[in-house]
């Protein structure tokens, strides 16, 4: 018998309302995350990664709404929880960090207080105990002089330090799952690597599973064992990270792999990129008929303009949605 996954998402659908019409911004999205595993979701801007994560913790707001599917966390359906039940889960068992911590931090409250709140809210600690925990939490994300920094307001900290504070808040209660939505995109390259190392190290030490969301396939492949590639609201390929690189199956995945900066020999010759995928992800209300990737696909034929491709299981594990997959 296989162990029950920590998170099981099946046929998730998120609708975007425009006037009286509803459009499926995310459709038929299914994935699982095992306890302690880091799963990657990768794809260009606008393909539905962030709203998928927001749906998991009940944070979709109009014009977006959860329109179908099941979300099971630790074996329990959580898609219909009341807001009070969801608040108990959020920050405690599932937490989220965002691209720009400034939008998630309260600018008017010292960062120590914002960390301490988690211990008071979810663990029943007194404020005095919680303040001590806040200093320890800041130390654990390697903020120097944490006993002084707890008194700082978010604007007094650098972007990297703010993201460390967000991680301290997110991990304060020892959640089972961390949703990390482009956690390093807004940071300098050197700081990016430090923050990724921190997430990797702390999640491994605490056994926290991570849903790592990024437009950067290189980053995702580095952090994750399995990867879901999203395009226009769908997972178009779901594979082990090493297979995505070695034998990408969907034309979109192939494009992502081909557009990665090259390592090794070719890079030494000054050739940085092989090719870009031309075009952009269409807006939700304009998803094409048939395969949603067809306007950008070099392999598209008549069937791709008519029929939405079904899921095909791949021989060595994973699946792809393409009429002409390898």
Ligand X SMILES: Nc1ncnc2c1ncn2[C@@H]1O[C@H](COP(=O)(O)OP(=O)(O)OP(=O)(O)O)[C@@H](O)[C@H]1O
The residues of the shown chain that bind ligand X, judged by CB under 6 A, are 16, 25, 43, 45-51, 63-64, 182, 283-284
Residue with tokens 């939700």: 284
- As measured in angstroms, the least distance from the Cβ of 19 to ligand X is 12
- As measured in angstroms, the least distance from the Cβ of 27 to ligand X is 12
Nearer to ligand X, 64 or 118 (CB): 64
Nearer to ligand X, 257 or 284 (CB): 284
- As measured in angstroms, the least distance from the Cβ of 25 to ligand X is 4
Nearer to ligand X, 234 or 323 (CB): 234
Nearer to ligand X, 63 or 68 (CB): 63
- As measured in angstroms, the least distance from the Cβ of 185 to ligand X is 8
What count of other Cβ atoms lies within 10 Å of the Cβ of residue 269? 8
Nearer to ligand X, 25 or 229 (CB): 25
Nearer to ligand X, 54 or 221 (CB): 54
- As measured in angstroms, the least distance from the Cβ of 195 to ligand X is 17
Nearer to ligand X, 46 or 58 (CB): 46
Name the packing angle between helices 111-123 and 127-140 (round to 10°). 120
Half-sphere exposure of 235 (CA within 13 A, CB side): 27
**59 phi/psi in degrees, rounded to 5:** -110, 15
Burial profile 85-94: b = 16 or more Cβ within 10 angstroms, e = fewer: ebeebbbbbb
**CA dist., res. 166 & res. 187, Å (int):** 14
**CA dist., res. 326 & res. 247, Å (int):** 8
Q: What six digits make up the tokens of 37?
A: 């595993």
- As measured in angstroms, the least distance from the Cβ of 298 to ligand X is 23
Burial profile 119-149: b = 16 or more Cβ within 10 angstroms, e = fewer: bbbbeebeeeebbbbbbebbebbbbeebeeb
185-188 LR contacts (CB < 8 Å, sep 24+)? 185/99, 185/214, 185/215, 185/216, 186/99, 186/100, 186/159, 187/159, 187/160, 187/163, 188/159, 188/160
Sheet of strand 38-42, all strands in order from the earlier edge strand to the far edge: 94-97, 177-181, 209-214, 38-42, 226-231, 234-240, 319-320, 312-313
Residue with tokens 């008549």: 302
Nearer to ligand X, 25 or 116 (CB): 25
- As measured in angstroms, the least distance from the Cβ of 241 to ligand X is 19
- As measured in angstroms, the least distance from the Cβ of 221 to ligand X is 18
């Amino acid at each position: 018998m296989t162990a029950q996954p920590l998170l099981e998402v099946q046929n998730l659908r998120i609708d975007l309302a425009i006037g009286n019409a509803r459009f499926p911004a995310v459709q038929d999205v299914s994935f699982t995350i095992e306890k302690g595993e880091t799963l990657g979701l990768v794809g260009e801007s606008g393909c539905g990664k962030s709203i998928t994560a927001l749906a998991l913790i009940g944070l979709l707001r109009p014009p977006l709404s959860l329109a179908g599917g099941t979300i099971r966390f630790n074996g329990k359906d959580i898609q219909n929880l009341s807001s009070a039940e969801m608040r108990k889960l959020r920050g405690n068992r599932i937490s989220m960090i965002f691209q720009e911590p400034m939008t998630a931090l309260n600018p008017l409250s010292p960062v120590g207080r914002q960390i301490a709140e988690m211990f008071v809210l979810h663990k029943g600690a007194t404020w005095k105990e919680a303040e001590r925990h806040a200093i320890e939490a800041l130390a654990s994300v390697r903020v120097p002089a944490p006993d002084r920094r707890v008194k700082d307001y978010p604007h007094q900290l650098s972007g990297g330090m703010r993201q460390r504070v967000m991680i301290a808040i997110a991990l304060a209660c020892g959640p089972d799952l961390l949703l990390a939505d482009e956690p390093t995109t807004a940071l300098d390259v050197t700081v990016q690597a430090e923050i990724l190392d921190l997430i990797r190290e702390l999640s491994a030490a605490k056994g926290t599973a991570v849903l790592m969301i990024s437009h950067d396939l290189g980053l995702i492949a580095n952090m994750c064992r399995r990867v879901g590639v999203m395009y226009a609201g769908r997972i178009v390929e779901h594979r082990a990270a090493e297979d995505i690189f070695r034998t990408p199956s969907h034309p979109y995945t192939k494009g992502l792999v081909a557009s990665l900066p090259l390592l090794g020999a070719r890079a030494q010759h000054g050739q940085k990129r092989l090719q870009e995928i031309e075009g952009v992800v269409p807006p939700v209300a304009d998803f094409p008929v048939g395969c949603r990737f067809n306007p950008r696909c070099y392999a598209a034929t008549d069937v791709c303009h008519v029929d939405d491709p079904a899921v095909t299981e791949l021989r060595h594990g994973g699946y792809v949605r393409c009429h002409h997959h390898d």
